Amino acid sequence: MRMVLLRHDLPDGSSHFDWMVEPSDPGRGLVSFRVHTRIDHPEITRFEAERIGEHRRDYLSYEGPVSGGRGMVTRVANGDAIWLTDRVDSIVLQGHLGGARGTWRGLKTPEAWRFERQEASPGETSAPP
């Protein structure tokens, strides 16, 4: 499955990042999170995220204006993932996003989703071939 990190610049001058992952179910939209840091950097191993609504798969390759005057998106990283767990309260992905590789484990808390990424061990495959 593919994943992407988009910088979303809003009309008010603020910005955030949208992390979107292709689900294993072809009938679903992208599993999407709003994050406030570049999670594609190898040194970022923990972060919080807000789950947002599923997005169209077009966003895996789209850059440009967002409909309804909601700003502009620019791709800052992309990668591949293997779903290990996809539940209402927990997510586990293995793969790479930009320079970050390993296993992302996310747990839903009352405040936000909390993710931790563990680096792949030497010789361990962290993305599909």
Query: Would you say residue 19 lies in a domain?
Result: yes
Q: Where are the extended beta strands (E) located within 10-129?
A: 15-21, 30-35, 46-55, 64-65, 72-86, 90-97, 100-108, 113-118
User: Could you tell me the pTM of the whole model?
Assistant: 0.89
Domains in the chain, number: 1
The pLDDT tens digits for 3-52 are 999 999 999 999 999 999 999 888 899 999 999 999 999 999 999 999 99
Domain range enclosing 107: 2-118
Q: Which residue has the tokens 């972060």?
A: 47
Query: Would you say residue 18 lies in a domain?
Result: yes
Query: Would you say residue 128 lies in a domain?
Result: no
